[in-house]
Structure 1
């Protein structure tokens, strides 16, 4: 399929998952607010979420696909299946051991991770149990990421993009239980929801295993061995996962720093769900679709195709990401208050979260661009330099984040805002390093046509932002005349309509170009029931 069509398939499925995830977060906010149980739950999800985004959402898969694709092209299906089997056995054994070690160490680690509650042993105890229940999800995601890489190499993107919906379904069930008359104490609800995370991981891995077998690939899990193929996989995939997950590592740094501020981790979680949406819908989908195409171009030494693919991917990413970032920057309170303020989640909570979200918003284009700029490195099996750039961005985030977090707090301001500023700044540092390397080595040099299109997209976004600002100023009156839910739908709808019209007016894209981008490429892989 074409790059745009692959991206559309994945984005549509991811959107379904994110809608359910948004519903889950509304229930979380209503059940827990931004109190200790919410802080405990976000701590329980911190490591599983990190690994899910590092592995299941593309970084590991992007690094693994070139290796698996090379073995498949040069040595045949059987050799590729053997490589995948050996890698899966070793990685699962390693991650399972890590999970067990973490579960044992959590009673000593939790006072450091959640230091705001050192004087509340009951909250710490519940946070430890909840994290132990969610931790096996990591092992499931290791297997799921490898299986997704096998499917993506064969041009099958739908199943790997669709299975994350199971996480939201499984965790939504206990949160929505009161709707059918099943009431639970907050502490019980915390533990049941955390256990549902692991259940969803088992289901995701099982469904992807079925998909791989239906594709005709026979994987066999045996005793783990550090074979030459496994060593090569680790040497490329682990740095690749770290490189592709720079933003996730920066998010983890922010979570750790926020542990000393009661409610701060909940604020970060609620802001994270909104600013991560463009990354999941656009950045991850385009990144996964780029790797197989760039790998083929690299093997064939077809520089022109690689250049054209990168121009198309970057332009497509910015066309969807820039308007989302502008909306998050201009009307963050409107979006949060209209959707999340209910039950235990107050307007004051929405106002605090909105200020943090605004600082994440200007980093959103960088978060997505990093997913577009790392595939050219991965396609050439160069994961070390992106890893080094990721390390630089993480160090910058730690230094700047700690300085701003404690500096803001010393001035009586919300320290979490400083963490958001540091995360966005670190993301742009990473993008600057990646882009400058690609340009310097002529691996990708933005064409004049791409630059002109980016300017036209920017003009369309500016027109949309002006409309959103004017509508946001009148949000209070609109929400009094209508409900706040209808008000936000009208505001966002008006902004989207203006952007679509401006895109046509400024010739950022034409209908014929969109049809051409979505047309299946000749010679593409045949479809099966999986897509």
Structure 2
């Protein structure tokens, strides 16, 4: 199957999940609102969301797939199954132990990520309770990550891309059933736990259909193969999760400003959409191909795959980033303002969304530029760059946060600036190292594609600005509905960008025909 088709499968299922996820967050935001209860709920989601993005969205799989695929190709299905079996038991034992320790020490653990509100015992204890309920999601996601790696090695992407939908299907009823903000958060935390189990069960069923028989029963063994997987997986996971670690750091600092976590979370839900749809989808789709090309020593095939992946990623990411930058408050207002989430909250969240938006291309580039390292089983280099970005994000974020607060401004916007800056540093380091080692340099076709996509994005930006200028008229024609106005502007933007992309040559009919051809 072509790269574009693999990416389309991954992205279309992720789109369904993200649409449901947006509906979930709109419902929960209306019930919970921004404030100390909303901040507690945002804190409780940090661990599940971090590990979902690290594990379920491909970072762990990025480290596991090359080892599993190499064993499958060199030694056959039985040897590969044994590697997966041993790795599964070790991973389960490690994450279960970590979960148990976290349950015991959670009041002290949360001082690291929610310490700014420790002087509010009522809401701090609520955050501790909610995070204790959601924490076992880690173990289920670790199991799911390995199972997704097995499926992705066989280029079976449907279940691994569709599994996150289960989380939204569990959380939406929890939000609808909640009667007060506190009760809603408790129902939602329980739904997180149930969803983790169901996601792991779904992926287990998918792996069994591939004739791979695994079992959790048995003593974990650190075999040489498992040690090698873990040595690759640990730095690889850190490397692929640098953006998510930066978000955790930002959220920790945001705990010193009441409601800031809630505003950052609302912004996060929108800018994560292109990251999940494009960056994760392309990164997951290209890894098996890059691994095969690396084993075969076929540098030309690897470069073609990267050119295609980067071109596709930027053609889809640039218009999304521009839209978020041009209309941040409008989008937050249209999607989130109702119930307990107020227009003033939209203004605050929109300020963060603007600064996250110019970092979106970097977030996606990291997802696409890291797989060439993983394919060559070099996970330490991306890990070092991810840690550099964490240091930059922490120092710059803390400096901007407290400086803005002392200046009488909202400090949390500095956290968004720092996160985007750190991600651009990470992406540039990855690109420069690939070029220096001779592993990949964008070819003429890729560079031309970037320029054409940028030009098409400029056309889209002007069009969106014009529609916002005429917003009162558009809204008036739609009975004053801001939701319908947002839908019309989003759909019109999609059509305008498609036309502009064909006009500038950013997308060509030959590319579409090739994408549809097996």
Q: TM-score, normalised by structure 2?
A: 0.98
The within-5 A match list for 1:262-277 is: 262-277=258-273
Shift of 1:230: 1.4
Tell me if structure 2 keeps the 8 A contact 1:456–1:506.
yes
Aligned to 1:188: 183
Aligned to 1:364: 360
The within-5 A match list for 1:350-499 is: 350-482=346-478, 483-499=481-497
Runs of 4+ in 1 over 4 A off after TM superposition: none
Tell me if structure 2 keeps the 8 A contact 1:56–1:148.
yes
Aligned to 2:93: 93
Q: How far, CA to CA, are the matches of 2:244 and 2:350 in structure 1? A: 20
The within-5 A match list for 1:256-267 is: 256-267=252-263
> CA-to-partner distance for each residue in 1:101-152, whole Å, 9 max, x for gaps?
1111112333553334334322122111111010000000000000000000
Q: How far, CA to CA, are the matches of 2:57 and 2:92 in structure 1? A: 17
> CA-to-partner distance for each residue in 1:35-76, whole Å, 9 max, x for gaps?
222111111111111111111101100110000000101111
Aligned to 1:141: 141
Tell me if structure 1 keeps the 8 A contact 2:31–2:180.
no
Correspondent of 2:340 among 337, 344, 350: 344
SS of structure 2 residue aligned to 1:223: coil
Shift of 1:481: 4.2
Shift of 1:473: 2.6
Shift of 1:486: 1.5
SS of structure 1 residue aligned to 2:439: coil
Q: How far, CA to CA, are the matches of 1:220 and 1:283 in structure 2? A: 32
Tell me if structure 2 keeps the 8 A contact 1:243–1:387.
yes
Q: How far, CA to CA, are the matches of 1:416 and 1:185 in structure 2? A: 27
Correspondent of 1:236 among 232, 237, 240: 232
Aligned to 2:52: 52
Q: How far, CA to CA, are the matches of 2:476 and 2:32 in structure 1? A: 27
Tell me if structure 2 keeps the 8 A contact 1:334–1:475.
no
1:316 matched to 2:303? The reply is no
Shift of 1:452: 1.2
1:517 matched to 2:515? The reply is yes
Aligned to 2:296: 300
Q: TM-score, normalised by structure 1?
A: 0.95
Shift of 1:168: 0.7
Runs of 5+ consecutive residues of structure 1 not aligned to the other structure: 178-182, 521-531
Compute the RMSD of aligned alpha carbons: 1.2
Q: How far, CA to CA, are the matches of 1:489 and 1:166 in structure 2? A: 25
Q: How far, CA to CA, are the matches of 1:112 and 1:202 in structure 2? A: 27
Q: How far, CA to CA, are the matches of 1:10 and 1:32 in structure 2? A: 32
Aligned to 2:501: 503
Shift of 1:237: 0.7
Runs of 5+ consecutive residues of structure 2 not aligned to the other structure: none
Aligned to 2:196: 201
Tell me if structure 1 keeps the 8 A contact 2:393–2:419.
yes
* Range 496-505 or range 61-70, more displaced: 496-505
Aligned to 2:115: 115
> CA-to-partner distance for each residue in 1:80-115, whole Å, 9 max, x for gaps?
111111111111111111111111111233355333
Tell me if structure 1 keeps the 8 A contact 2:113–2:249.
no
Q: How far, CA to CA, are the matches of 2:51 and 2:108 in structure 1? A: 21
Shift of 1:191: 1.2
Q: How far, CA to CA, are the matches of 1:476 and 1:89 in structure 2? A: 59
